Amino acid sequence: MNEFYQSFHKEINSIISSYYKIILLTFAPFIAFGLIVAIFYNGVLENLPVAVVDNDHSQLSRILVSKLDDTKTLEVAYKVDDTHQALSLLQGTKAYGAVIIPYGFQRDTYTRRAPQVTVMLNTQYILVGKIIKSTLSTLMGKGAISMQVTPFFNLYQNYFLFLVSALIPAIWQILIVIVMLVSFGEVVKRGKEREEFQEHMVVKILGKAFPYTLYFTFIGALYLFYVYGTLGWEFQGSTLVTLFALLCTVIAYQIIALLFIVVEFDYAHALSFGAAYTAPAFAFLGVTFPAQSMNGFALFWREMLPISHYVALQISEANYGVSSGSELVKIMAFWSLGIIVYLRFKRRVA
């Protein structure tokens, strides 16, 4: 334990004396998290500009246009004469959608002939398109057709909770790997592996890594408390299980960072491996794109990311109150990579 404490204390002093590490541990996470919170804080997209082509010019069509403009989501920014003008606005990204009201809209509505209102969307903006479509479907459903909308996966229908709950962990895992690579990479860069770790190797490695284990677990817990403790969203499941999974994820990424170090014991290459591994993680979490629709390689890469299993567990616990023991087991399975790290380090310092 004396060697563990000495290694731990030495790393704390190294952090205090390094502006680079201080920036990585304080400014980097809080600025990144703060920007994400600021961008998505509103949670709901509002006043999305749409164009309207009213070919009927009837009292009922004007009421429909007024109701479109009255919704919080949409703003009738353009009233144009024909479809070509509406398409031009879509192509110029001045409008996200166009609503074309047909001739005879009022007559066909009153005679129950089900007039067809055409909606054109810019599908380059997938999320925006879905929101406009959902708003229009709900609005049309308030007329002659009854419609019930039941949300499943975004229970609060709020994109702050939906997106930020995955975006922040995605950045968090990048920082864990970078900080570990910087800490242990300094030793490798100076060629002092034997001096640092020849005696009591495992204990000293654990002591050197422990400050970051504590810190990033604290950062993760702070984020969970912020989202589910101060913003009013109820945490449905076990916070203890989620916090334990969060700790396990930190350790998993620390081991993975060490694995990148021991591949070649080259600091620059290790940073490249870490960036390539962690940076694209958000795309594979299954939040913005369903995992069931991913191809074989995407699913394989998703399985290779501890954060994907943590986010799945967090969503399961927080939104549905359902424990996901299999995801926790998958996270802890990454710890087995520590065997490779141990053997490579032992060979290096022998």
Q: Where are the domains of the chain?
A: 2-41+158-349, 48-141
Query: Which tokens go with 347?
Result: 């060979």
| 240-267 per-position pLDDT tens digit | 999 999 999 999 999 999 999 999 889 9
| 94-146 per-position pLDDT tens digit | 898 888 999 998 998 888 888 888 888 876 676 677 778 778 777 776 554 33
pLDDT at 126: 63
Nearest CA-CA partner of 37 in 161, 131, 127: 161
- In which residue ranges of the chain is pLDDT below 50? 144-156
Element (H, E) at 100: strand 97-101
Q: How far apart are CA 65 and CA 332, in angstroms?
A: 55
Which percentage of the chain shows pLDDT scores above 90?
Answer: 42
SS3 49: strand
This prediction has a pTM of 0.74
pLDDT at 144: 43
- Which residue do the tokens 């066909």 mark? 108
Nearest CA-CA partner of 336 in 282, 235, 256: 256
pLDDT at 285: 82
pLDDT at 150: 40
For residue 78, the cross-strand partners are 51
CATH assignment of 48-141?
3.40.1710.10
pLDDT at 283: 81
* Distant-in-sequence, close-in-space partners of 330: CB < 8 Å, separation ≥ 6: 303, 306, 309
